[in-house]
Amino acid sequence: MSNCSDHNLCINSALTEAEKICNQKNIRFTDLRRTVLKIIWQNHKAIKAYDILDQISGMNFSAKPPTVYRALDFLLENGFIHKINSLNSYIGCPHPLQNEQCYFIICSSCDEIEECSDENITNAIKTVMEKNKFTHKNIAIEIDGTCNSCLENRK
Ligand SMILES: [Zn+2]
Ligand SMILES: [Zn+2]
């Protein structure tokens, strides 16, 4: 999938954005939180918690698993990352302030995930929720398949 030309820009903007939001909310963007976010952003693929733990333990962090899980919860709560339920993994969010209406397309060939947002889908879901008199909290839509560049490569 790789829609970015320079992934360092993705990483930098994600970290800068997170830092900015933390400053605005007056919450601490600790070294561990930053490192976990950076690990998750190493590519556009989802990463499992134990792979994050693995990479952390290879660094100079004395962080125990519960601390890392707390950092993950923090990143989730603040919208800096999303959980991909079908893969039981985490992915960085490129626009943490506007993630109410996002869904994910997951390429099962290159494993890359793209976050998309579409008002029409959100509105359709809201209408259905109203019809069912259900108050939703999270909307998670995960669509798996093959991205265009993987399809092209197969030819
Ligand atoms: Zn990128
Ligand atoms: Zn692909």
**Token duo for residue 56:** 């952390």
Q: Does domain 102-154 have CATH number 3.30.1490.190?
A: yes
Is residue 83 over pLDDT 90? Answer: yes
CB burial class (10 A; 0-12, 13-18, 19+) of residue 115?
middle
Whether the CB-CB separation of 1 and 115 falls below 8 Å is answered with no
Q: Considering the entire predicted model, what is its pTM? A: 0.89
User: Residue 86 Cα, ligand 2 centroid: separation in angstroms?
Assistant: 17
Ligand 1: centre distance to CA 6 (Å): 6
Work out the number of other CB atoms within 10 angstroms of the CB of residue 68. Answer: 23
Question: What is d(CA 91, CA 66) in angstroms, rounded to the nearest whole number?
Answer: 19
Task: Taking residues 24-32, report their average pLDDT.
Answer: 94
Band of residue 60 on the pLDDT scale cut at 50, 70, 90: confident
Per-residue confidence (pLDDT) for residue 99, from 0 to 100: 58
Average pLDDT, the chain: 91
CA 137 / ligand 2 centre spacing (Å): 30
Residues, CB within 5 angstroms of ligand 2 (ion): 1, 107, 109-110, 147, 150
Q: Does domain 7-92 have CATH number 1.10.10.10?
A: yes
Confidence of residue 4 (pLDDT cuts 50, 70, 90): confident
In the predicted model, what is the mean pLDDT of residues 53-57? 91
Ligand showing the shortest atom-to-Cα distance for residue 2: 1
Q: Averaged over 21-41, what is the pLDDT?
A: 95
Q: What mean pLDDT comes out for the span 72-80?
A: 94
More confident site: 139 or 94: 94
What's the start-to-end Cα distance of the chain, in Å?
A: 16
| Residue ranges, CATH 3.30.1490.190, the chain | 102-154
pLDDT in tens, 84-136: 999 999 999 988 877 566 789 999 999 999 998 888 888 899 899 999 999 98
CATH 1.10.10.10 domain span(s) along the chain: 7-92
pLDDT at 29 over 90: yes
* Cβ-contact 81, 75 below 8 angstroms: yes
